[in-house]
């Protein structure tokens, strides 16, 4: 089920200062809108291209807590989010998601602490996420807290996951999409990009956003090249 059709900026979007001067912001302003797949959309690109800034803005515009969690989470360890989300407009389909979550890898420790403080760990597998490894806690979240007909915004979920963990997350995403959920994910993982039928959007250094096939996505192509001949890469590096 489609909850978000596309995103666009308000007409009064500032043009000066961070993050409004980021190339990806200028490119999206010029393009007018960013289409989202009704099932899974990936944002991928090198460090510094603005993936996390854009994914954070989408999450904030959708009503999620900037540090992560559901729309009911309203804690703030340190307010470092950009103001971009205040100028982002989400064009929605009729109907609202029954549930949803913003997973931000870099601040998930804070979310886990808030879960303990609220005493709602039962919904995450029955025990504190701090008693699980980082990767196990991510998978507990996806397994126990994510549900059907949900909107899920994920920022680099592979940060804590092994390759088998990424494969387990793919399987969970597949099941939830079949149950009417929608995902928007920023990732560097060539494994996660293999989600069947996903829309893969590449953010370039100059801000251009383009649709690419799985085989042409940079994490996939570079990983394949490296594994085929690692010594060639190492000789170049050293």
CATH for 4-107+147-237 is: 3.40.50.300
Q: Rounded distance, CA 192 to CA 167, Å?
A: 7
Contacts (Cβ under 8 Å, ≥6 apart) of 117: none
Residue 162 is predicted with a pLDDT of 96
Cβ proximity of 62 and 100 under 8 Å: yes
Cβ proximity of 211 and 45 under 8 Å: no
Residue 106 is predicted with a pLDDT of 85
Please give the model's pTM, rounded to 2 decimal places. Answer: 0.95
Residues of the chain with pLDDT under 50: none
∠ CA 73-55-44 to the nearest 5 degrees?
Answer: 145
Residue 109 is predicted with a pLDDT of 85
40: β partners: 183
pLDDT 10s digits, 30-71 = 889 999 999 999 999 999 999 999 999 999 999 999 888 889
211: β partners: 201
């Amino acid at each position: 089920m489609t909850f978000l059709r596309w995103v666009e900026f308000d007409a009064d979007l500032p043009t000066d200062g961070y993050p409004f001067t980021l190339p990806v912001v200028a490119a999206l302003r010029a393009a007018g809108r960013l289409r989202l797949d009704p099932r899974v959309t990936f944002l991928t690109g090198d460090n510094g291209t603005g993936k996390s800034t854009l994914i954070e803005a989408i999450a904030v515009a959708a009503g999620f807590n900037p540090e992560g969690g559901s729309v009911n989470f309203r804690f703030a360890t340190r307010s470092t989010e950009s103001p971009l989300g205040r100028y982002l407009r989400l064009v929605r389909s009729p109907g609202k998601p029954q549930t949803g979550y913003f997973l931000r890898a870099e601040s998930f420790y804070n979310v886990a602490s808030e879960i303990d403080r609220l005493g709602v760990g039962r919904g995450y597998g029955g025990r504190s996420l701090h008693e699980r490894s980082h990767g196990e806690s991510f998978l507990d979240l996806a397994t126990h807290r994510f549900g059907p007909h949900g909107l899920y915004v994920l920022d680099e979920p592979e940060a804590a996951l092994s390759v088998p963990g990424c494969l387990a997350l793919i399987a969970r995403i597949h099941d939830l999409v079949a149950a009417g959920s929608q995902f928007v994910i920023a990732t560097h993982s060539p494994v996660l990009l293999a989600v069947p039928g996903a829309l893969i959007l590449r953010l370039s250094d100059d801000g251009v956003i383009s649709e690419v096939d799985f085989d042409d996505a940079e994490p996939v192509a570079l990983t394949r090249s490296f594994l085929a001949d690692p010594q060639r890469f190492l000789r170049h590096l050293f």
